[in-house]
Structure 1
Amino acid sequence: MRASIELALSRAEGPKKLLDAKAIGASTDAYFNRTQDIVSHFGESRVTYALFIRRPVIAATGFLSVWLENVAREQGIDIDFRAVFPDSSWVGAGEPLAYITGAFSKLAPLETLALQRMGACCVAAHNAYQMSLILPHVAFLAMDARHCAGDMMQEMMAYGAAVGSEAARRDGAKGFIGNANDVTAPFFGRSHGLGTMPHALIGYAGSTVRAAEMYREVYPNEDLVVLVDYFGQEVTDALAVCRRFPDLAAAGRLSVRLDTHGGRFLEGLDPQESYAVLERHTPGTIRRYRSDQELRNLVGTGVSAAAIWRMREVLDQAGFPHVKIVASSGFGTEKCMAMVDAHAPIDVIGTGSFIPNQWNETYATADIVAYDGVARVKVGREFLLGRYEAHPTDSQGRGVK
């Protein structure tokens, strides 16, 4: 997996953008350009920056490192990058993630863009790690691209999910096994994105079964994942598809995807029946005190734990025990925790909810900690000096030059 991530980083478009000095100068904060002018006028200094985030994260600095490498190559300058923690390592709040050393006049304009390329990746990695650990026996599919603000964010979020997933796999979780588009699939060791059909195809086909038939005709050798909520008949349509493709169902090559929106219950459920479903399969789950959001995730509208249990129940009763259940719709850490409590029988979760929910949590910060080899940092940031003073010339890591 590590090799896949490194290869994908080398090919990602984001680290190839904004490399020349003019483009960087136009995109950075003005005071960094003015700092460059002043330092160029009064004399160069070799400085070291420490980069950190104020919350715990999973280290995911590779996106930044590759970008700096490309900047150094493009501009013909020396930039020494030292990752304090290897990618996929846990990092405590405020601990320096990396040190960047070089000529002050060359590094100053890079600060704004460097911070953009680190903070969000690390928080996304942390979120993906947490989600994977919460449900270690469930495979996750990254479906973040539609929620991203542009192609660079799309790459950063997929990279973060891949790094966080790598950390989770070391702890025994399945983690993210792939994603939904081709351009970031290499981060997950794949050449292509995963996925079969959107709701629009079912509308086009006129029925869920017909959409499955169309897909099967065009892609006869692929496993089949069918959305079953388009007509509000999840149970009816799921069973109809299983009966139409009994061989796929028996071989475990057919999955039904639940994506019921939050405005209604899965077919056949209401509040009372949702409680009854959980009582049948996981007694006691809803007897403990629950917040409103926990109750919604367990027995509410949309893709609740009760909805998932109900689908598993009807599939098994109809003789389709090998048909898998794919769940999507808002599966962040909180909803994943509810699924653990309910022992929900999920095979795969499709989600983009590892994207940081509160963007201010992604804000990374940089401070210079040394000028010409002399340790010096603004008051209040002395905590950044520890690792620098322990290894002031250590250039282990990615060794950007």
Structure 2
Amino acid sequence: MTPPGPEEGRTALDAATCPDLALTPEEIGARTDAYFNRTQAIVQHFGECRVTYALFVRRPVIAAHGLMVTWLGNVAREQGFEVGIERVFPEGSWVGAGEPLLYLTGPFSRMAPLETLLLQKLGAPCVAAHNAYQMALALPDAAFMAMEARHCAGFEMQEMMGYAASVGSRAARKEGAKGFVGCANDATAAFFGQTRGLGTMPHALIGYAGSTLRAAEMYHEVYPQDPLVVLVDYFGQEITDALAVCRRFPDLAAQGRISVRLDTHGGRFIEGLDPQSSYGVLERHTPGTIRRYRSDHELKDLVGTGVSAAAIWWMRECLNAAGFTEVKIIVSSGFGIEKCMAMRDAHAPLDVVGTGSFIPAKWSETYATADIVAYDGVERVKIGREFLLQKARSKTREPRS
């Protein structure tokens, strides 16, 4: 059921069709900040200067600068100038707060209008990659599926977020985690070494079918070779409907080709649970989890409404009791870093996590910054950013066209 990830050693961009549209100078000028356009005009009037930029983010991140670098290379090629690109940190590596991720060297008149767009393509992917990395490490035995598209402000953001998840995932795999194995749409599937998006049915198909079982039958009839992943919360009968599907397709269940997906909303408990019985489930399976102090937020993830650790354990308990030990459990609904850590603490028996919660929650944390640190080879930077000069002195740049 879990497709393979990209080959180790390959970058996400090696596996994907990279964006090759550089935008025209006029389009870039319309999208950048006006003072960069005015700077370009002044430099063109008084004479060209070769400058070096240092780019950084103010918080710890995972280096995910590939999309930005690819776009910059396309711009340089289309406009006919050379740009030196020095990646201080390899893609997928951890970067401390304020550490320069890379240095860019090129003609000031060509680079100035690009600053706004370059920063747009740098900060958010780096933060999202860090989030994806932490989530994958929190649940190293679970496979993740990126489901961020519906929460993105258009395709450009969707592309950046899917790319970021693949970079963070690759970093986590180096530390033994399964990480993200795919995404929910075809357009960004190549970032994960896939040819198409993953996923089976939305709630709307169950509403159309009239029952969870009938939706499963419809799906299997049209896609008989696919694993059968069934949403089981539509009617609030997660256990009843999960068992009904397994009994209808016992061979698929025995082969491990059925997965039940829990997506219960936070307004109610999964079928068969309430506050008291939720504590009881964890007491049976992982008593140490609830015998120490927990914040209200942690308790919600462990024994609260929605897709809690108790709900996952309860589903596993019921499936096993009915003889369906090979049926897998997929979870979704708010699985960010904290919830993943709570599931790890509770040893929740989940197999796959569907999530878009690696999207940065606090957008101001994604703001990347660029400062020029050298003009025609002479080091110069504004007061307070001298630390960028120290980094610049210790590095050698390799020109790229």
TM-score after normalising by structure 2: 0.97
1:37-85 deviation digits (Å, cap 9, x = unpaired)? 1111111110000000000100001010000011112111212221111
Is residue 354 of structure 2 the alignment partner of residue 328 of structure 1? no
Match of 1:101 in 2: 105
Aligned-partner SS, 1:211? helix
Residues 19, 70 of structure 1: 8 Å contact kept: no
1:47 to 48, 51, 56: 51
Contact 2:264 2:306 in 1 (8 A): yes
Q: What does the per-residue CA deviation read over 1:154-202, in whole Å, with 9 as the maximum and x for residues that have no partner?
A: 0100110000000000000000011110000000000011000000000
Provide the rounded CA distance (Å) in 1 between the counterparts of 2:243 and 2:88. 53
Residue identity matched to 2:295: S
Instruction: Note the aligned Cα RMSD (angstroms).
Output: 1.0
1:7 aligns with one of 11, 14, 27: 14
Q: Which residue of 2 aligns with 1:79?
A: 83
1:270 aligns with 2:269: no
Instruction: Give the paired residue count.
Output: 394
Q: What's 2:3 paired with?
A: none
Contact 2:68 2:118 in 1 (8 A): yes
Q: Distance in 2 between matches of 1:102 and 1:20?
A: 18
In 2, the alpha carbon distance for the partners of 1:222 and 1:119 equals: 38
Which of 328, 341, 345 is the equivalent residue of 2:345? 341
Q: TM-score, normalised by structure 1?
A: 0.97
Distance of 2:319 and 2:13 partners within structure 1? 41
CA distance in 2, matches of 1:39, 1:28: 17
Q: Which amino acid aligns with 1:177?
A: V
Deviation at 1:361, TM superposition (A): 0.6
Secondary structure at the aligned position of 1:6 is classed as coil
Q: CA shift at 1:244, angstroms?
A: 0.5
Per-residue deviation, 1:301: 0.5
Quote the offset at 1:343 in angstroms: 0.7
Counterpart in the other structure of 1:29: 33
Deviation at 1:386, TM superposition (A): 2.0
1:155 equivalent to 2:163? Answer: no
Distance 2:69 2:11 in 1: 16
Q: 1:60 is matched with which residue?
A: 64
Kept after mapping to 2: 8 A contact 1:178/1:185: yes
| 1:281-306 per-position Cα deviation (integer Å, ceiling 9, x unaligned) | 11121121111110000011000000
1:312 to 287, 293, 316: 316
Are residue 238 (structure 1) and residue 242 (structure 2) matched? Answer: yes
Counterpart of 2:196 in structure 1 is 192
Within 5 Å, give how 1:331-370 maps onto structure 2.
Answer: 331-370=335-374
* Partner AA of 1:298 in structure 2: L
Assess if the C-alpha contact under 8 Å between 1:4 and 1:188 holds in 2: no
What is aligned with 2:397?
394
Pairing partner for 1:282 from 268, 283, 286: 286
1:199-225 deviation line (CA, Å, top 9, x unaligned): 000000011011011110111111111
Confirm or deny: 8 A CA contact 1:325 1:347 kept in the other structure.
yes
Question: How far 1:8 moved relative to its partner?
Answer: 4.4
**Aligned residue type for 1:3:** R
- What is the match of residue 139 of structure 1? 143
Q: How does 1:116-265 map to 2 (within 5 A)?
A: 116-265=120-269
Task: Classify the secondary structure of the residue corresponding to 1:172.
Answer: coil
Secondary structure of the corresponding residue to residue 177 of structure 1 = strand
The gaps in structure 1 that reach 5 residues or longer are none
Return the match for 1:110 from 108, 114, 119.
Answer: 114
Contact map agreement 1:133 1:173 (CA 8 A) in 2: yes
Q: SS of 1:60's equivalent?
A: coil
- Residues 256-281 of structure 1, C-alpha deviations (whole Å, 9 max, x = no match): 00000001100011101111111111
Alignment partners' CA distance in 1, 2:224 and 2:298: 41
- For 2:98 and 2:126, how far apart are their aligned partners in 1? 13
CA distance in 2, matches of 1:291, 1:36: 53
Query: For the Cα contact (< 8 Å) 2:335–2:355, is it kept in 1?
Result: yes
**Gapped regions of structure 2 (runs ≥ 5):** 1-5
Summarize deviations over 1:304-354 as a string: whole Å, max 9, x none.
Answer: 000000000000000000000000000000001110111100100000000
CA distance in 1, matches of 2:295, 2:276: 18
Instruction: Give the deviation of 1:359 after TM superposition.
Output: 0.4
Paired residue secondary structure (2:10):
helix
Query: Secondary structure, in 3 states, of the residue corresponding to 2:13?
Result: helix
What displacement does 1:136 show? 0.5
Question: Matches of 2:168 and 2:299 in 1, distance apart?
Answer: 28
- Following superposition, the deviation at residue 17 of structure 1 comes to 4.2
Alpha-carbon distance between aligned partners in 2 of 1:18 and 1:357, rounded to the nearest angstrom? 29
Q: In the TM superposition, what is the alpha-carbon distance from 1:114 to its structure 2 partner?
A: 0.1
1:333-386: per-residue Cα shift (whole Å, max 9, x none)?
000111011110010000000000100010000000000001111110011112
**SS of the residue aligned with 2:181?**
strand
Q: Rate the CA distance shift 1:104–1:60 in 2: closer, same or farther, 3 A.
A: same
